[in-house]
Amino acid sequence: MYDDILLPVEGSDAATAATSHAAELATTYDATVHVLAVADTRNRFESPTSGLAPDAWDEAQHENAREAAAAATAALPDGVAVEEHLAEGIPEDVILDRVGEHAIDLVVMGTHGRTGLDHYLIGSVTEDVVRKSSAPVLTVRLDAE
């Protein structure tokens, strides 16, 4: 049923929860997990008065992507086939492109459950992927405690 599972990660607790679900599915279906971490090229803080210089932003995003991918890969059990992919761009676009260009059978990703102003300001990569993906998407919510 599932041969290729895409696991987009960004280093959050929600992504860690999604990794557990992807591991279970990969074990059950003998699937390959494609771990994807995206260095976000949109510097929301780039301005003369408010934030990070472009080079610092880019380096931080690339380092975060490397660390997130490595952590997710390490968390997957032995015996699960894993392919690690690092990319840069707008996360939802990169994820959707990978689904469309590869034989992805399922996307497993975490969601933070943001609502209200946080959701409006930050947006939701997961929501965009759910709405636009040609493959089924399993969302794993990190419940606030």
pLDDT exceeds cutoff 70 at 45? no
Q: What is the mean pLDDT of the chain?
A: 87
What average pLDDT does range 112-133 have in this prediction?
70
Nearest Cα residue to 26 out of 88, 80, 66, 70 = 80
Instruction: For residue range 1-41, list pLDDT tens digits in order.
Output: 899 999 999 998 889 999 999 999 999 999 999 999 999 88
Domains and CATH numbers, the chain: 4-141 (3.40.50.620)
Strand order in the sheet with 81-89: 81-89, 32-40, 4-9, 106-111, 137-141
How high is the pLDDT of residue 112? 72
- Which helix H or strand E contains 108, and what residues bound it? strand 106-111
pLDDT exceeds cutoff 60 at 50? no
Residue with the larger pLDDT of the pair 12 and 122: 12
